[in-house]
Amino acid sequence: VQAITSDPLEKERKELANYAGRVQALHQHIVRLLTLTDEVTKVRQDILKDIQLIDAPEEDEDTLVGRDRKGAQEPTDGYSRATATFVDRVAEQNKTARDARPQLEKTKMTAQELVKRTGALQEKLRSRDRAFDELNHYNQKVTDLKADLAKKSKPNPKEDDRLARNVDKHRMAQERFTALDREVRDDMKGLVGQKVGEIARVIAEYSRYIGVIAAGDGKDVDTYSREIPGLVEGEEAKKDAATTAEGKEAKKDTPISAEEEAKKDTPIPAEEGPKKDTPIPAEEGPNKDTPIPADVQEQERLLLFLQLIISQYYSMVVFASRKWRNFTAKVVGVKSIPFDPLEKQRAAVLEHAAKAEALYKQLLRLSNLTDEIRSAQLEITRQSREVIAPPAKDEEASTLCSTADSGAGYTQAICLFADQLSRCEQSLQALRPQLQVAVAEAQKLVQRNADLQQKLKDRDRAYADLDHYNHKIEDLKTDASKRSKKDVKGEERLARNVAKHRMAEVHFIQLDEQVRVEMSQLLEGTEADFAKIIAQYSRYLGVSAFAGMQGITTFTDQVPSMVRQQVERDEDPFPFHNQNSGLSSCQRLYVWVVGPLESLVWAYYTPIVRRPSHCAVSRSPSVLWGGGGGSVTESSLITRLAGCCCPSECSPLNVWEGIFSADGFCLEFYC
């Protein structure tokens, strides 16, 4: 529909379009906030579930490696209390968020109603445009018909009837346009003229929501900031002290001989072999019970040391023949060790890795949601500010509404809300590194799991190489035993493969020992590792709750009160006016009183009021008096209506305005 050319409401239409866009954006940001807060609650709930699973006791003691669980001190007291406290507090925080959700829903509905009203007014404007187009059509048509009739010398009844019909249609179109124009102007005045107040109502509802959330979180500031981290740090201190004491006691009670001191620098002593549960394939060789001379033992140590250095170039030089096996491993994956004695521990590591990955992703998601919530709140702040003080490019199309007394309270409330929310958001942004510390701790745990998984694969690959050379040596020995003559090349080939087998064995033993140590540390320290992450996140919750508490009175009391008071002034612009009174006419009475303001002033008058038939009035005059003691105020003026049985329907509540001078004052009364 084409807009009306040179529309007298063109400026108001631009202002409405700008206002409608801001209202729509405000509603969208509130809807987004509602979705984000639901996601935050869900992620926190998922974190609680995962933490409770992590904290569940393991029934199978074989999942702990390298240490007798019964003989070791259980480092769970402080960690368990910290975890349990964290779970309880976050569960309470989620409950507060769920209980406060209806207030956020109310904010959304208030904004949605405003969107509907602006949309309905824009639709009325389009209907007004259509009505004007129709009116213009009939206006042109009537003009043309009159011009045609003026050109004809003889009267034409059909043309006269046609003109009369179009004149009638023109009249109806004009009535329709006039009615729509009047309705649009009234709605425009009520909606756009009160836009600051409408936005302030939305802001007041959202301010209440922020206050409720801040009050709920503020109760646990000390728990999050001090109690939970303190429990974890205390348990860490006890653990470190116990480890130090055990080390000193062991060093004191165990004398170290000179021979053992010399062995410390030897990577893998010859007399030490694989652990009894290390799955190393059998190898033919000399009897291990045969005593070895000292010089041979020293040579063996030197040989093993050289083999350790050579093993650094193991995959590049020695095992060039593994190309096919490596290609197969890339295609189908590395085959796990059959009947691996660490099979249960490997399953526990996989479960640990899954929990660590889940916690990391949830904390990362919480960090992102926090940023999105901050962005949405900043947009709400920006949209609210621009309703009061629009940008320069929109200044002409978005002038502020009318008089100061119709929007001063709303403007102050919006400014106060925006300033306080901006300060809170700046504080939370400054505290964001604390949340990143928790995310980084979780990421480190994930990386530890990934590194251990890679080492387990390397161990599987080393075992496959060891098994390969074991079978190859057996085959070469079998072939050599079948030959009747000595084969020099065959013996050299056997010697090379024996050396490769020995280096493969050394490589596997190193990986196996390293994997066992790291697996033991990871699984035994599960509760401690997750408790440290919880402590870091708890610190963030504590400092963020403290930051939110700084403006709680602004959000819960000041902003809603300012909006409510301005609403009351708009609905009742005069102190003694009752909107429900059934007044059909109004009398204005001026009383000029000469004398000091401290004197009592009595004014008798009879208001003109149309009363319902059932109203019984025992005395017609109403009495108003003003008490002295300085300037006349609302509280010093009292209205009485004696004998009225239905004041809500017909009471004339009297409005006053004071005009003061040196020698007296004037009271202006309205019925």
Q: How far apart are CA 178 and CA 557, in angstroms?
A: 45
Asked whether the beta carbons of 33 and 97 are under 8 A apart, the reply is no
Does residue 608 lie within any of the structural domains?
A: yes
Residues of the domain holding 484: 265-345+443-546
The answer on 337 and 452 residing in a single domain is yes
In a 3-state reduction of DSSP, which class is residue 69? Answer: coil
Which pLDDT band holds residue 606 (cuts at 50, 70, 90)? very low
Mean pLDDT estimate for the chain: 72
Asked whether the beta carbons of 497 and 472 are under 8 A apart, the reply is yes
Q: Is the pLDDT of residue 532 over 50?
A: yes
- The tokens for 147 are 């011009």
Asked whether the beta carbons of 175 and 189 are under 8 A apart, the reply is no
Which pLDDT band holds residue 599 (cuts at 50, 70, 90)? very low
Lowest mean pLDDT across 41-45, 227-231, 578-582 = 578-582
Asked whether the beta carbons of 391 and 403 are under 8 A apart, the reply is no
Does residue 630 lie within any of the structural domains?
A: yes
For the purposes of burial, counting CB atoms within 10 Å of the CB of 658, is it exposed (0-12), middle (13-18) or buried (19 or more)? Answer: middle
Q: How far apart are CA 370 and CA 365, in angstroms?
A: 8
The answer on 471 and 616 residing in a single domain is no
Which pLDDT band holds residue 28 (cuts at 50, 70, 90)? very high
Does residue 534 lie within any of the structural domains?
A: yes
Does residue 467 lie within any of the structural domains?
A: yes
Helices 526-549 and 343-388: crossing angle, nearest 10°?
Answer: 10
Which letter does DSSP use for residue 292 in this model?
Answer: -
Asked whether the beta carbons of 275 and 340 are under 8 A apart, the reply is no
The answer on 539 and 592 residing in a single domain is no
Mean pLDDT of 330-353: 81
Closest-CA residue to 652 (of 636, 634, 666, 640): 640
The answer on 542 and 660 residing in a single domain is no
The answer on 606 and 540 residing in a single domain is no
Asked whether the beta carbons of 463 and 508 are under 8 A apart, the reply is yes
Asked whether the beta carbons of 504 and 466 are under 8 A apart, the reply is yes
User: Averaging pLDDT over each range in 68-72, 214-218, 510-514, which range is the top one?
Assistant: 510-514
Mean pLDDT of 553-576: 76
- The tokens for 280 are 């190393």
The answer on 454 and 339 residing in a single domain is yes
Closest-CA residue to 526 (of 640, 359, 666): 359
Return the HEC string of 517-546: HHHHHHHHCHHHHHHHHHHHHHHHHHHHHH
The answer on 459 and 536 residing in a single domain is yes
Choose between 37 and 290: higher pLDDT: 37
Choose between 583 and 294: higher pLDDT: 294
- Our count of domains for the chain comes to 2
Q: For 389-487, where are the alpha helices, taking DSSP H only?
A: 408-430, 432-482
Q: Which of 516, 531, 546 is the endpoint of a domain?
A: 546
Asked whether the beta carbons of 73 and 242 are under 8 A apart, the reply is yes
Which pLDDT band holds residue 640 (cuts at 50, 70, 90)? very low
Q: How far apart are CA 35 and CA 23, in angstroms?
A: 18
Closest-CA residue to 384 (of 558, 548, 206): 206
Does residue 627 lie within any of the structural domains?
A: yes
Q: Which helix (H) or strand (E) holds 505?
A: helix 488-524
Digit-coded pLDDT (tens) for 162-175: 889 999 999 999 99
The answer on 447 and 331 residing in a single domain is yes
- The tokens for 282 are 């059998």
Q: Which of 546, 573, 596 is the endpoint of a domain?
A: 546
Strand order in the sheet with 637-640: 601-605, 622-626, 637-640
Does residue 492 lie within any of the structural domains?
A: yes
Asked whether the beta carbons of 667 and 598 are under 8 A apart, the reply is no
The answer on 447 and 309 residing in a single domain is yes
The answer on 622 and 496 residing in a single domain is no
Q: Which helix (H) or strand (E) holds 270?
A: none
Does residue 110 lie within any of the structural domains?
A: no
Q: How far apart are CA 280 and CA 508, in angstroms?
A: 9
Q: Is the pLDDT of residue 664 over 90?
A: no
In a 3-state reduction of DSSP, which class is residue 59? Answer: coil
The answer on 600 and 488 residing in a single domain is no
Q: How far apart are CA 342 and CA 386, in angstroms?
A: 65
Helices 10-55 and 77-151: crossing angle, nearest 10°?
Answer: 160
Report the pLDDT value the prediction gives residue 608, as an integer from 0 to 100. Answer: 35
Choose between 68 and 152: higher pLDDT: 152
Q: Is the pLDDT of residue 595 over 50?
A: no
Which pLDDT band holds residue 242 (cuts at 50, 70, 90)? confident
DSSP string across 590-632: EEEEES-TTS-EEEEE-------TT---S---EEEEE--SSS-
Does residue 193 lie within any of the structural domains?
A: no
Q: Which of 546, 574, 609 is the endpoint of a domain?
A: 546
Q: Is the pLDDT of residue 282 over 50?
A: no
Any idea which residue has 């033991």 for tokens? 520
The answer on 522 and 605 residing in a single domain is no
